Amino acid sequence: MQVIQAIQNRIYEVRGERVMLDFDLAAIYEVQTKVLNQAVKRNIKRFPKDFMFRLTISEWSIMQSQFVAASDPVNSLRSQIVTASQSKRNTRVTPYAFTEQGVAMLSGVLNSDRAINMNIAIMSAFVEVRRILLLQTDIREQLRQIQEHITEHDVQLSQIYDSIENLLDENAAQRKWEDRERIGFKKSN
C-alpha cells in the first residue's frame, strides 16, 4: 500500500491527462532516466502522442515551481526527490510525460522483473486515483442536491414566515383600540 501511495504522489495532471514523468518512472523502475528514454526511443512506434508527450518549457517551469513551493512534509520530501533525481538531467530538455496507457506500454519495453512488478503497482495506483476521483464526483453531486433542497426549504420557510406575519397583522388590525384591555394603573370609582 505504501508503494501505491508513493506512486500516487508522482501522478500529475497535465493537459487534462493524468501522467507520470520520465524521471519518476526511471526512479521507480530503478534505471537511469537516460536508459528509460533510450528504450522508449528504440520503440517509438509503441508511444503515440496520446501515450507519451514532451512537456513544454512553460509546463515544466510551472511544475518545478510547484515542487519548490511545497511546504508540507510529504511534498517537501517530494521536492527533494525531484531535485535529487534531476541533478544529472540536462536542464534544457523537458521531461516526457506518460499517460496511463503509455506506462502500460512501458511494460513491453522494459522487461526486467522490477519493471514488471512496478508496472503492476503503477496500474493499481492509476486505478485507485480514478476511484478517488469518481468518489469526489459523487460527493459533489450529493452536495449539489443538498444545496437544491436547502434552497427549496429556504423559499418554503420564507413563505411560511410571510403568511404568519400577514395573519398577525390582520389580527392586530381587527382589534379596535377601544376594545383592547387596558393595562397600567387603574383608578377605582
What does the alpha-carbon distance between residue 57 and residue 95 come to, in Å, rounded to a whole number?
A: 9
Asked if the model's pLDDT at residue 151 lies above 80, the reply is yes
pLDDT at 95: 92
Q: Cell 436547502 identifies what position?
A: 150
CB 28 within 8 A of CB 7: yes
CB 99 within 8 A of CB 17: yes
pLDDT at 176: 65
**Three-state SS letters, 20-55:** EEHHHHHHHHCCCHHHHHHHHHHCHHHCCCCCEEEC
How many Cβ atoms are within 10 Å of 171's Cβ, its own excluded?
9
pLDDT at 74: 45
* Terminal-residue alpha carbon distance, the chain: 94
Cβ within 8 Å of residue 98, ≥6 positions away: 19, 20, 21, 22, 25, 47, 51, 52, 106
b/e 70-101 (16+ beta carbons within 10 angstroms → b): beeeebeebbebbeebbeebeeeebbbbbbbe
Torsion over CA of 136, 142, 145 and 151, rounded to 10 degrees? -90
Q: What is the mean pLDDT of residues 27-56?
A: 87
What does the alpha-carbon distance between residue 66 and residue 62 come to, in Å, rounded to a whole number?
A: 6
pLDDT at 20: 86
Average pLDDT, the chain: 76
How many Cβ atoms are within 10 Å of 29's Cβ, its own excluded?
21
Q: What is the mean pLDDT of residues 33-60?
A: 88
**Amino acid found at 77:** L
pLDDT at 72: 45
Task: Give the domain ranges of the chain.
Answer: 2-133
Q: What is the mean pLDDT of residues 177-181?
A: 68
